[in-house]
Chain A
């Protein structure tokens, strides 16, 4: 769009322009000379003046002044009496000569001034356009590396320079050893220069710019709050010449710095958010697992204390009770260990299904038999259709699924309430299993989170790790099945599992 020549506007004049001025005045004079008898000396003077005015449209200041003086001389020498002589006959001719010269000079000055201010305007407009486009493309950049890329491209386009950027390390007050941008500009001595400049800039000492080996100039990248890094630019001809160009260059550096600052803050905020999240999760895991681990241990330890007390252990009835507590505490510990192991199997991706044909009714029967000891006062009501298609499943995993769902129901529903287990194949090719309890149900807004790891419904009784139902979902989904939870209109939670039937 804008060549590098664009910047070369100045009042610089070369020999060519003087020749043009000379030739133009000469030609005009040559054409006018034969006509001067017809049109008169004054008109010739005006025509010559016009020639200078035309020249003023494209020549530099000094060739124009040369043209003005030449014009006055030519007019005097060739057209004014005495001809071919610079002298004058009448005093008014002298005035006319001086007036001609003055008018021409003033004209030249005026026109060049207009042209200059026009050029300045045009320059600043173009500079603004460049800055605007640069800002816009920097704004669109969505990551640190993208910002670097856009910055590099634009520096190259407008200044013809390669750039290398060293950013401040996140946690220490030093520069990172690995730069962004053009690797060929990176070397250890350059990095040292950059580091010195970085220290100067961050400690508030001048640190404007420094030139390293290979003619690379380093500039500090200053965010409003701190020095965020150093940019190194290979400048073939030293710093950009001209005030305008230097200003544009500095604006570029400022934009690069503030955009990088913005991206760095965003990245830091995101990292912190992730960290906070994982810390919360860790706390949740810690508190639920530690509660679930310590409670049975507390029971065991209290039971042992009681057994050690002669007064208690000598009574057979009390001893029996203590043994029951010990047994159920150890079952509880074992369940927890199983859940943690299951979860780590799922997490590690080592879950392998040992698929076999199985009969849902058979599975349910097995689980109910195993859980007899944990039922207490709950009543189980099992409804299995006579002919249920088989499913292909890993028996031990589905068994764990049922156990976890039932334990959940037992834990959160009042003693004496019933739990219904119903199998059906309402849809062809599908076998569903519904477990319905008569507890308080789950508030609607928590239903969708029920199967999330470590999620516990707020206000629910203590105990439980938030692992059981997460394992259930993972196991069911590993079988290509579906699971969903809903509240019964009559109260109570319904968990429905659906598996593909085998023919």
Chain B
């Protein structure tokens, strides 16, 4: 282990002590520095005192709903927040994402998945993604020259498809809600564009996925939206 490596700080706000202990163990072994809070009040304090790089926030807190805390934090802080909850109701997730959460993970979660989300969140907040070439699996997009390649072969995208892809690349690894995508592309509510969005996604998948019927790069988050996965680059 490198001694001088910067340790990113993770704040866990969850009232279940056992969950905190297990998460702490996972994060610490992966070189994160962990702070804990069990209530919204403690969480607020910890954010101001410890300046975490990323927050894991449980929505069911005893003193206040995690959604309320999320809204308050967003009033003054841009720190990445990953919502961590057993509530797998899609409407709650969408509400959390619309209130400013960067991503969400439902319990029970997979440690590898959670760590990947944390990495994405930190990279976004520190703007480490501003490379002119995006790569994921066999997909490669050169943002400067606007060239998209699948398995090293160029694919032609329409203007809408390209702008759609660009939105995903800028938020690579993050879940994007339907309404966010709709606002970004058409500046209109999702309800007006639900069908069109689906069609565009399907067309985009035909061009950037090896098997469009089983998407691996542009995946669906049921009931919430879509996510552009960052896969290891294929040889």
Contacts and interface: CB of A to CB of B under 8 A. Distances in A.
Contact of B25 (A295, A300, A322): A322
A328 interface: yes
B62 to A, nearest CB: 4
Interface stretch (A129-137, A267-275, A423-431, A454-462): A454-462
B21 A300 contact: no
B86 to A, nearest CB: 4
B22 A299 contact: yes
B25 A462 contact: no
Contact of A299 (B15, B18, B87): B18
B22 A306 contact: yes
A295 B21 contact: no
B16 A302 contact: no
Contacts of A297: 107-108
A294 B107 contact: yes
Contact of B108 (A302, A306, A321, A459): A302
Interface string A279-304: 00000000100110011011111110
A311 B110 contact: no
A305 B111 contact: yes
A329 B21 CA distance: 12
A290 B112 CA distance: 24
A298 B109 contact: yes
Given A291-B86, A305-B26, A459 B60 contact: no
B29 interface: yes
Contact of B62 (A311, A312, A461): A461
Contact of A300 (B26, B87, B108): B108
A163 to B, nearest CB: 51
Contact of A306 (B26, B60, B87): B26
B19 interface: yes
Contacts of A295: 16, 18-19, 86, 107
Nearest to A312: B29
Interface in A197-215: none
Given A291-B86, A294-B86, A300-B108, A321 B62 contact: no
A291 B14 CA distance: 13
A301 B21 CA distance: 13
B131 to A, nearest CB: 30
A284 B109 CA distance: 24
A294 B22 CA distance: 15
Given A287-B87, A290-B86, A311 B29 contact: yes
A359 interface: no
A325 interface: yes
A463 interface: yes
A306 B22 CA distance: 8
A309 interface: yes
A463 B16 CA distance: 8
Residue among B25, B60, B107 having the largest count of chain A Cβ atoms under 10 Å: B25
A462 B22 contact: no
A318 interface: yes
Interface in B107-143: 107-112
B160 to A, nearest CB: 39
Interface string B19-32: 10111011001000
A459 B21 contact: no
B61 interface: yes
**Chain A, interface residues (CB within 8 Å), range:** 20 to 34
Contacts of B87: 287, 291
A301 B109 contact: yes
Interface in A46-75: none
A301 B108 contact: yes
A461 B41 CA distance: 13
A295 B22 CA distance: 12
B63 interface: yes
A309 B86 contact: no
A298 B20 CA distance: 11
B110 A301 contact: yes
Nearest to A313: B29
A305 B107 contact: no
A302 B109 contact: yes
A462 B40 CA distance: 13
Contact of A321 (B16, B25, B86): B25
Interface in B165-212: none
Contacts of B22: 299, 302-303, 306, 322, 325
Given A297-B108, A301-B109, A302-B108, A459 B26 contact: no
A147 B131 CA distance: 79
Contacts of A325: 18, 21-22
Interface string B62-97: 110000000000000000000000110000000000
Nearest to A318: B25
A167 B22 CA distance: 63
A328 B18 CA distance: 9
Pairs A-B, 10 closest by C-beta atoms: A305-B111, A298-B107, A461-B62, A302-B22, A298-B108, A301-B108, A462-B60, A294-B86, A297-B108, A299-B18
11 contacts: A294-B108, A295-B19, A298-B109, A299-B18, A301-B108, A301-B110, A306-B26, A311-B29, A321-B25, A462-B15, A463-B15
Given A301-B109, A302-B19, A325-B18, 12 more contacts: A291-B60, A295-B18, A298-B86, A301-B108, A302-B22, A309-B111, A311-B29, A312-B29, A461-B15, A461-B62, A462-B60, A462-B61
